[in-house]
Structure 1
Amino acid sequence: MNLIENIREAIRSIRSNLLRTILTGLIIAIGITSLVGMLTAIDGMKAQIEESFSGFGANNFDVQSKGRSGRRVMREGVEEKIYPPVNYRNAVDFKEAYSERGVATVHCSLTGAAEIKRGSKTTNPNTRITGGDENYLLIKGIAIENGRNFSNVEVRYGNNVCLLGSEIVETLFESHEDPIGQYVTFYGNRYKIVGVLEEQGTVGGDSGVDRNIIIPVENATRQDQTGNFRYDITVLVSDPAKLDYEMGQATGIMRKIRRDRVGEENSFEVVKSETIGESLEEVAGYLRIGGFSIGFITLLGAAVGLMNIMLVSVTERTREIGVRKALGATPLRIRQQFLIEAIMICVLGGTLGVVLGIAIGNIVASLVGPGGFLVPWVWLVMAFVVCILVGLVSGLIPAYKASRLDPIEALRYE
């Protein structure tokens, strides 16, 4: 009995016990469906969210001070030179010089632990205050829910106006009150509210924009009593394919502004902005681990069920095994026969599971938003590999038991 004959015999056995094969295959199909379905849904939702926010950071880069930590870095035993930070005048000069090529915004962070007051109401001391200009919201992908953005005059003269995050509005105002035109106080100054930022939700315990106040960057410079504020420049490139080229152009402009000599290294840094896709990839990675773990547990239960059915099959076919051994079949061929049968059942069930998993995963992903049909080829290949492994593990003990049967005792079995 060779390998080809064993495959034919496995097919005949599957056909002769069709109902049992279908029920066994369904056990495997359910496990594969849960595995492929969850992983497909995760990838599908990630792809659709990335598409919705494709412009937020994907075509941006930052020009910022070199060595943001402010500490000396040892490289080959030599301390690197510490350069002065990018100041407000450097940033404004760059924005004006780059305006012929594209859009840039100058911004800085004043504090992340401010208290905002309105009458007798006060926020917790965890409000972030940011200085920005008229382009800040556009480049950072922040929408205004109510009110308006800063005007060019307000940015130029640094008027006492501000944009509030939704969480601060909920703390300082009643639901029926309109915050537009009202005043809040921080740093001993009164600021008029001209806009409310759209709620973005909480990620990792950080409310981000929802707990942020944005004031004109010119106004923020007045709070810089010690001159330690660091000003960042974010540039929006119209064509992402030209991102590296524009970064090179920005480097040349900034070197001229900073008066870096020919042959000297840059006294600043030009880096690609972190995209939403990069953040989503990190979150999706954890979701994949969770989905794979749940699917693996389901498959483990399916493997136990398949093993039990294969053991019953060995018992039912004891006399058949005795005949095969009497005709010269070796224990290796007997083991091979049952292993092939288990693998074939798993592959048949896995095929159904993959189809159902891809369909269910895409349906779940489509609930997030409209998008294209996703076929996760990596998970598809992995699913069939897992099917084969499950078939081997589930069929190993029954196959070993069948190969150990005594042919004389097996022939006597009724």
Structure 2
Amino acid sequence: MNLIENIKEALRSVKTNLLRTVLTGTIIAIGITSLVGMLTAIDAIKAQIEDSFSGLGANNFDVRSRGFSGGRSVQGGRIEKSYPNIKYKEALEFKTDYLKTGNATVFTSVSGAVEIKRGSKKTNPNVRVTGVDDLYLNIKGIKIEEGRNFSATEIQYGNNVCVVGVDVVKSLFDNEENPLNQQVSFFGNRYTIIGVLETQGSVGGGPSADRAIFIPVENASRLDRRGSFRYTITASSSSPVSLEYDMGQATGMMRKIRQDRVGEEDSFEVTKSQTVGESLEEVAGYLRIGGFTIGFVTLVGASIGLMNIMLVSVTERTREIGIRKALGATPLRIRQQFLIEAITICIIGGIFGVILGIGIGNIVANSIGPGGFLIPWVWIMVSFMICIFVGLASGYIPAFKASKLDPIESLRYE
């Protein structure tokens, strides 16, 4: 009795005991469905969120002054060399060069504690004023609810116009008042409101655009009387795949502009803007662990049920096993027969479980938000490996028991 005959016999046994096979395969299918379904839904939802947040830094990187996040650090007992901040003209020159590769925006933080006035009304001194260009809102994924963005002329000449957040509007205007084309005052100058931002909220505890005012970066540069403003460039790559290449190109451009010598370290920093993507990946990782754990526990229960059914099958087929041994079947072939039968049942259940899991996972993901159809090939392969493992684990004890039966005693069994 060779391996091919064992496989044929296992398939005949599965076909003969169809109801038992269906019930056992259903148990396996439910476990695989829960595993593949949850992991498919998690990956599909993650892909949708990444696509929605692509404008919030997934394809962006920053070029900024060295030591932007703090003072000079100490390395190896020596204080790290300090470099001058990126100047406004250098930032504009970089933007002009990089526009041949992709989009880039120049901005600077004027102050984070400004009091905005309008007549007798005023805000708390906690409004953030930022100098930006006409591409800033688009690259940062900030949308305008009323009014418009800055025009190229306003950016070029630094007109006294501004785009404000909703918290500023609530503090200075009544509900029925239209803030557009109205004037507010700060830094001793009057600015005309040309746009109001959508409600943004605060992500990760960071500063919210709801309590912010944006002015043309050229206008902000005139307020830099001491030359202490830090100008930052956020550049956008065409895709995450080309992000590293574009960062290298940007480094070369800025080194040329800053006249960094060959062999010297960069006098600036080029960093990825992927905080949202990294946080999302971390959360998705925890969800995958949870989904995998739930599916695995379900499969453990299914394997116990399968083992019980295989033990019953061995008892029912004791006489058949005795006949096979009398005809020359070795214990190895008897073990193979029952193991192949268990694995076959698991794979049949696994196939239906994968199909149901992919369908349910994509339905759940698309019910939350519109998206494409995701086929998780990695999880499909993992599921079939788990099916084979479950078949081996649950079929080994019954197969071992069958292989140890005495052929004479088996032939006497009724």
Q: TM-score normalized by structure 1? A: 0.78
Give the unaligned 5+ runs of structure 1.
none
Matches of 1:261 and 1:187 in 2, distance apart?
A: 40
Matches of 2:308 and 2:23 in 1, distance apart?
A: 13
The answer (yes or no) to whether the contact 1:35–1:295 under 8 Å persists in 2 is yes
Matches of 1:220 and 1:200 in 2, distance apart?
A: 23
TM-superposed deviation, 1:179: 4.9
Distance change >3 Å, CA 408–CA 393, structure 1 → 2: same
State the secondary structure of the residue aligned to 2:284: helix
Deviations 1:186-242 (A, max 9, x none): 889887654332345665565854565434445655776876542211234679998
Matches of 2:188 and 2:413 in 1, distance apart?
A: 96
Matches of 1:147 and 1:43 in 2, distance apart?
A: 37
State the secondary structure of the residue aligned to 2:384: helix
The answer (yes or no) to whether the contact 2:31–2:295 under 8 Å persists in 1 is yes
TM-superposed deviation, 1:314: 2.4
TM-superposed deviation, 1:130: 3.7
Matches of 1:325 and 1:186 in 2, distance apart?
A: 97
Please identify, of 81-90 and 337-346, the stretch whose mean Cα deviation from structure 2 is larger: 81-90
Distance change >3 Å, CA 357–CA 99, structure 1 → 2: closer
Q: Which residue of 1 aligns with 2:350?
A: 350
TM-superposed deviation, 1:136: 0.8
The answer (yes or no) to whether the contact 1:339–1:396 under 8 Å persists in 2 is yes
The answer (yes or no) to whether the contact 2:346–2:390 under 8 Å persists in 1 is yes
The answer (yes or no) to whether the contact 2:55–2:140 under 8 Å persists in 1 is no
Q: Which residue of 2 aligns with 1:367?
A: 367
Q: Which residue of 1 aligns with 2:388?
A: 388
The answer (yes or no) to whether the contact 2:160–2:192 under 8 Å persists in 1 is no
Q: Which residue of 2 aligns with 1:141?
A: 141
State the secondary structure of the residue aligned to 1:46: helix
Q: Which residue of 1 aligns with 2:162?
A: 161
Equivalent pairs, count: 411
Please identify, of 206-215 and 58-67, the stretch whose mean Cα deviation from structure 2 is larger: 206-215
Deviations 1:378-402 (A, max 9, x none): 1111111111011112222322333
TM-superposed deviation, 1:87: 3.4
State the secondary structure of the residue aligned to 2:85: coil
TM-superposed deviation, 1:377: 1.7
Q: Which amino acid aligns with 1:352?
A: F
Residue 286 of structure 2 is aligned to residue 299 of structure 1: no
Please identify, of 170-179 and 103-112, the stretch whose mean Cα deviation from structure 2 is larger: 170-179
Deviations 1:83-105 (A, max 9, x none): 12223343245446666776532
Q: Which amino acid aligns with 1:298?
A: T
Q: TM-score normalized by structure 2? A: 0.78
The answer (yes or no) to whether the contact 1:44–1:374 under 8 Å persists in 2 is yes
Matches of 1:170 and 1:288 in 2, distance apart?
A: 42
TM-superposed deviation, 1:307: 2.0
State the secondary structure of the residue aligned to 2:82: coil
Q: Which amino acid aligns with 2:75?
A: M
The answer (yes or no) to whether the contact 2:149–2:163 under 8 Å persists in 1 is no
Distance change >3 Å, CA 131–CA 177, structure 1 → 2: same
State the secondary structure of the residue aligned to 1:388: helix
Matches of 2:73 and 2:271 in 1, distance apart?
A: 20
Question: Over aligned residues, Cα RMSD in angstroms?
Answer: 4.2
State the secondary structure of the residue aligned to 1:378: helix
Distance change >3 Å, CA 122–CA 34, structure 1 → 2: farther
Matches of 1:168 and 1:74 in 2, distance apart?
A: 44
Q: Which residue of 1 aligns with 2:398?
A: 398
Please identify, of 87-96 and 15-24, the stretch whose mean Cα deviation from structure 2 is larger: 87-96
Deviations 1:165-188 (A, max 9, x none): x56767887876655456778889
Q: Which residue of 2 aligns with 1:74?
A: 75
Give the unaligned 5+ runs of structure 2.
none
Matches of 1:174 and 1:401 in 2, distance apart?
A: 84
TM-superposed deviation, 1:38: 2.2
Deviations 1:4-63 (A, max 9, x none): 332222112111101110111111111112222222223333334444555665654432
Distance change >3 Å, CA 319–CA 42, structure 1 → 2: same
Q: Which residue of 1 aligns with 2:338?
A: 338
State the secondary structure of the residue aligned to 1:342: helix
The answer (yes or no) to whether the contact 1:158–1:217 under 8 Å persists in 2 is no
TM-superposed deviation, 1:330: 4.1
Residue 333 of structure 2 is aligned to residue 321 of structure 1: no
